[in-house]
Amino acid sequence: MKKTQQIEAIMEVVRIVAGLAIAYLVALLILVAISKDPVFIVRQFILGPFSSPRRIGSIINLAVPFMLCGLSMCFMYAVNKFNLIGESIFMLAGCIITWVGLAIGNSLPMAVMVPLLLVIGAIVGAVLAFIPAIMDRKLNANVVVVSLMLNAVIAQLALYLLRYFMRDPGISFIGSYETPASMQLPMIFGKMRVGSGVIIALIFVVIVSILFYKTSFGWKMRIVGSNPKFATAVGLSTLGISFAAQLAGGALAGVAGATEIMNSYKRFQWTASTGHGFDGLLVAVLAKRNPILVPIGALFLAYVRIGADVVNTSGDIPNEFISVIQGIIILLVAAESFLSGFKNRLIYKSVQAEKESAKGSK
Amino acid sequence: MAEEVLRMQGITKIYPNGFMANKDVTFGIGANEIHALVGENGAGKTTLMKILFGMEDCQQGSIFINGKEERIANPLDAIAKGVGMVHQHFMLLPSLSVAENVTLGVEPMKNGLFDYEAAVKNTQEIADKYNFKVDATAKVSTLSVGQMQKVEILKALIKGAKILILDEPTAVLTPQETEELFEQLFNLRDSGVSVIFISHKLEEVMRICSKVTVLRHGECMGTYDTKDLDETKISRLMVGRDVVLKIEKEDPKPKEAILEIRNLKRFNSFGKAVIDGVTFTVHSGEVVGIAGVEGNGQSELSEVLAGLSDFASGDVILNGKSIKGLSVRQIRDKGMAYIAEDRMVEGVAGDMSIEMNIMADRFSKKNYKKNGMFVDARKIRKETQQLIKDFEISCDGPEQPVRMLSGGNIQKVVVAREFTSGANFILANQPTRGIDVGTAEMIRKTIVRKSREEGTCTVLISADLNEVLECSDRLLVMRKGKVVAAFPKANEVSEDTLGEYMLGIREMTPEQMEGLL
């Protein structure tokens, strides 16, 4: 039966690769119909993101919030609570840390400022995640509905803070005053222009992975998520654990928002929800709720997005179409049963071969 | 030999998890025959029947009905070809009448609308033909389990089933209902229906079947005339060794009271008492069995004792302290271990590793942790490997997901955890349901051994009469949320007597039970 586990692992990789191949093939077929130069477009889509160090750097920068939001959703996903509040936490945490940063100014060194703002972001996230979590627990209000509704409210709150307390009247668009240099994360890797936020993201990947697989809390959380009735019957506090996991997930979404502002912006200038919370869910699905795989999921999503940008600026097809291709790719990668018939036949063959050889050796 | 109506030739079935459920199985039945299909659980009986009924496909093999090769694509196809199946779990619509359930799918129509009168008439006709005593206009929700089973059989017959599969039909029946079922099966046989009778209960097989086919580990061990066999021989064919059907045990020496239940009451959401004033005490060193037809408060009692549900009044004292208001964790810390009724729901987390499942109740305790928050991976791995060895769990290793194991091995994971938790009160609810004879025997023996050697107190709730009679020292019978009978020595009670109390034909007075609770 060891063989069975091996086949399951190998087929996982085959499935993803085949999914990608089919998605690009479908894209190519559609492009033939609507573009003058379909092969060029597809090539741009696949290879464009790697065509310059700057673009590779962009992939990494884009992957930073994806990673942190993906980790955030890993917590929600682990306990099977689809608390989607991360979407607005990301925005409000970015807003609040900008506000705090502006208030502190350049009086603190970066080594103090950055951790401080990350902690504030985390607190904002935990406090906001508390609302849907407690309503789910005490009022039996569906956590998906509550968190989605709250997202709208919180996004407006962030916008209100921006307009009435932080807005810089000296610029042509809606944005805050410029943040102090002590909270603007420096670039690394020279030409690639990668923000050092990637280091923060990777540190959190390590911390969350250890939390999931090496700590007692992580074990509890995974058992609760896998079978809550079983968890209750063996004496785990199912409600408490799923509650704590949601707060931790919220805190990480807060860290994500804070990191994104410090890594990629000089002002807080989001006037609408950014979609990062939902991207986080996507990453968590791609990573199969395993924090160790989150960087891969995040980099993949970032690569597809940058590919779309490249095509958008250099090709003759509309942006909306790029979203369609993205959708197909992600769908096929996430579809767990894709090729399962093929996998089952492989398992069947290997078991039979095993039995035959067992018979032979007798 | 009678004409062969069904032949399954060289059937091989491998499940997607790599489990080979049937290996080159060949199986045939004749007309006018009650044919037993026996084997340990996981031997492939149900799988073979699901293939015949079109619920599973097989990788190799062919099926012949009346000598003609048939491909059975789905259950509808199977019904059309004259195969009917009565599942272990009934598939009935409780809010509809018997006639509506029976004619479902073959509804008589009048002017484009369902003709209820005709449905009742058709149902009654077929019931009378086979001498089934059911009221076609009664609502299914008002029927007893035995009557529901009749409705299930009628459902198959009205569609013209000539081959009827019964999957462990007597598991849910009382002894009296079982007798009635057997009468009906004889009637069916005499009127030309071939019956495939899947059962664990060998004495039933010996009584009603003319032939028996034995499966072992997915392979066919042959078809025999029952008159050439006896129970011991069948069980030897099934497991390849002699199973001791009796459990040898010395008399219990009950010591101090460990579990005291005092006038316990619990109500359901409709305000009906599901536990209605239950009182009894279990001592160190004894096994108390609770028998009863399912749904008479045993599950509810088990939930209360396991801390999974609150109760309205009365009290439960475990090791000198009331468990009222305590969490499952606190009750477990007071000495409770729990083998859950449905292992896939409360016994394991299927997607998690064997290791996490075995350690689920203890990894968060101090002595399994390092530096406060980290699990002590090395110690956990070592203990898991030891338990896998001690309980003979056949698996690839501690990291294999539990869902990949067979039913018996999954239950071994459950008992490896619960028997080693250090508890002195074991609550075992249906501990051997649906698992192979070998594992069941191991579990039963361990329950008895722990009570004798370690002085644990055990409450054994089981629908398997043989199990409660063999394992228990004292025996209680529950009916409608009450304890209606108590016997000082379980192995001196006959199944018939037990059946009368379970069905409410007899009831003991509190005076009769005095000193036995």
CA terminus-to-terminus distance, chain A: 19
A321 pLDDT tier (thresholds 50, 70, 90): confident
Q: Evaluate if residue A170 carries a pLDDT over 90.
A: no
Q: pLDDT (tens digit, 9 = 90+) per residue, A257-291?
A: 999 999 999 999 998 888 898 889 888 988 888 89
Query: Is B74 inside a domain boundary?
Result: yes
B42 pLDDT tier (thresholds 50, 70, 90): low
Q: Which domain holds residue B106?
A: 4-239
Taking an 8 Å cut-off on Cβ atoms, the answer to whether B327 and A234 are in contact is no
Contacts (Cβ under 8 Å, ≥6 apart) of B320: none
**Mean pLDDT taken over chain A:** 86
Look at residue B341 in the predicted model and tell me its pLDDT: 86
Residue B289 and residue B161 share a domain:
no
Average of pLDDT values for B360-382? 89
Query: Is B344 inside a domain boundary?
Result: no
Query: Is B19 inside a domain boundary?
Result: yes
From B239, B272, B297, the end of a domain falls on: B239
Look at residue B418 in the predicted model and tell me its pLDDT: 94
d(Cα B387, Cα B384) in Å, to the nearest integer? 5
Q: Evaluate if residue A213 carries a pLDDT over 50.
A: yes
Residue B107 and residue B46 share a domain:
yes
d(Cα B57, Cα B48) in Å, to the nearest integer? 10
Residue B265 and residue B217 share a domain:
no
Residue B398 and residue B358 share a domain:
yes
Average of pLDDT values for A88-98? 95
Taking an 8 Å cut-off on Cβ atoms, the answer to whether B59 and A348 are in contact is yes
**Closest to B14 (Cβ–Cβ): which among A216, A234, A348?**
A348
CATH number, domain containing residue B230: 3.40.50.300
Average of pLDDT values for A89-98? 95
A236 neighbourhood in chain B, CB within 8 Å:
329, 360, 364
Q: Taking the CB of residue B219, how many other CB atoms lie within 10 A of it?
A: 16
Look at residue A362 in the predicted model and tell me its pLDDT: 43
Taking an 8 Å cut-off on Cβ atoms, the answer to whether A230 and B374 are in contact is no
Residue B368 and residue B329 share a domain:
no
d(Cα B115, Cα B348) in Å, to the nearest integer? 48
Q: Evaluate if residue A126 carries a pLDDT over 70.
A: yes
Q: Exposed, middle or buried, A223 (CB in 10 Å: 0-12/13-18/19+)? A: buried
Residue B121 and residue B83 share a domain:
yes
Q: pLDDT (tens digit, 9 = 90+) per residue, B386-430?
A: 999 999 888 888 988 888 887 788 999 999 999 999 999 999 998
Do A82 and A76 form a contact (C-beta atoms < 8 A)?
yes
Residue B161 and residue B28 share a domain:
yes
Structure tokens of A31? 């492009």
d(Cα A147, Cα A87) in Å, to the nearest integer? 9
Taking an 8 Å cut-off on Cβ atoms, the answer to whether B348 and A232 are in contact is no
pLDDT: which is higher, B183 or A313? B183
**Mean pLDDT taken over chain B:** 87
From B393, B421, B449, the end of a domain falls on: B421
B234 pLDDT tier (thresholds 50, 70, 90): confident
**Closest to A230 (Cβ–Cβ): which among B331, B332, B348?**
B348
Q: B-contacting residues of A 298-317, CB under 8 Å?
A: none
Q: Evaluate if residue B242 carries a pLDDT over 60.
A: no
Look at residue B373 in the predicted model and tell me its pLDDT: 86
Query: Is B340 inside a domain boundary?
Result: no
Q: Evaluate if residue A23 carries a pLDDT over 80.
A: no
Look at residue A90 in the predicted model and tell me its pLDDT: 95
A203 pLDDT tier (thresholds 50, 70, 90): very high
Look at residue B177 in the predicted model and tell me its pLDDT: 87
Contacts (Cβ under 8 Å, ≥6 apart) of A68: A200, A201, A204, A252, A253, A255, A256, A259, A260, A280
Query: Is B346 inside a domain boundary?
Result: no
Q: pLDDT (tens digit, 9 = 90+) per residue, B253-262?
A: 888 899 999 9
- Separation of CA B149 from chain center: 16
Residue B149 and residue B165 share a domain:
yes
Structure tokens of B432? 């051997």
Q: Which helix (H) or strand (E) holds B329?
A: helix B328-333
Q: Evaluate if residue B1 carries a pLDDT over 50.
A: no
d(Cα A200, Cα A115) in Å, to the nearest integer? 10
Q: Touching check for B367 and chain A: CB below 8 Å? A: no
Do B198 and B167 form a contact (C-beta atoms < 8 A)?
yes
Q: pLDDT (tens digit, 9 = 90+) per residue, B253-288?
A: 888 899 999 999 999 877 788 899 999 999 999 999
Taking an 8 Å cut-off on Cβ atoms, the answer to whether B17 and A229 are in contact is no
A219 neighbourhood in chain B, CB within 8 Å:
356, 363-364, 375
d(Cα B330, Cα B318) in Å, to the nearest integer? 11
Average of pLDDT values for A349-358? 68
ipTM of the complex: 0.81
Number of domains in chain B: 3
Minimum Cα–Cα distance from A8: chain B residue: B17
Residue B433 and residue B416 share a domain:
no
Average of pLDDT values for A65-73? 95
Q: Touching check for A340 and chain B: CB below 8 Å? A: yes
Residue B154 and residue B99 share a domain:
yes
Q: pLDDT (tens digit, 9 = 90+) per residue, B191-201?
A: 889 999 988 77
pLDDT: which is higher, A113 or A344? A113
Query: Is B459 inside a domain boundary?
Result: yes
Look at residue B144 in the predicted model and tell me its pLDDT: 82
Query: Is B227 inside a domain boundary?
Result: yes
Hey, of A10, A230, A237, which one would you mutate to test binding to chain B, going by the most B CBs within 10 A of its CB?
A230
Q: Evaluate if residue B45 carries a pLDDT over 90.
A: no
Nearest CA distance, A200 vs chain B (angstrom): 23
Give chain A's domains with CATH numbers: 1-35+317-362 (no CATH), 56-314 (1.10.3470)
Q: Touching check for A51 and chain B: CB below 8 Å? A: no
- Looking at mean pLDDT, say which of A169-178, B12-21, B241-250 comes out highest: A169-178
Residue B442 and residue B293 share a domain:
yes
From B239, B274, B290, the end of a domain falls on: B239
Residue B80 and residue B198 share a domain:
yes
Q: Among A50-59, A321-330, B84-93, B336-345, whose mean pLDDT is lowest?
A: A321-330
Look at residue B2 in the predicted model and tell me its pLDDT: 52
Average of pLDDT values for B76-92? 87
pLDDT: which is higher, B230 or B459? B459
A350 neighbourhood in chain B, CB within 8 Å:
18
Q: Evaluate if residue A31 carries a pLDDT over 50.
A: yes
B239 pLDDT tier (thresholds 50, 70, 90): low
Q: Among A34-48, A207-221, B113-127, whose mean pLDDT is lowest?
A: A34-48
Q: What angle do CA B233, B234, B235 make, to 5 degrees?
A: 95
Q: Among A223-237, A238-252, B5-19, B82-96, whose mean pLDDT is lowest?
A: B5-19
Average of pLDDT values for B373-397? 90
User: Which DSSP letter does residue B344 get?
Assistant: I
Q: pLDDT (tens digit, 9 = 90+) per residue, B162-173?
A: 999 998 888 778
**Closest to A235 (Cβ–Cβ): which among B340, B361, B400?**
B361
Q: Evaluate if residue B17 carries a pLDDT over 70.
A: no
Please state, in angstroms and as integers, the Cα–Cα distance from residue B293 to each residue in B60, B164, B177, B300, B502, following that order.
41, 26, 11, 13, 6
Q: Among A168-172, A248-252, B482-486, whose mean pLDDT is lowest?
A: A168-172
Look at residue B240 in the predicted model and tell me its pLDDT: 58
Query: Is B414 inside a domain boundary?
Result: yes
Structure tokens of A14? 């085959």
Give the ranges where A265-318 is alpha helix by DSSP (H): 276-286, 294-314
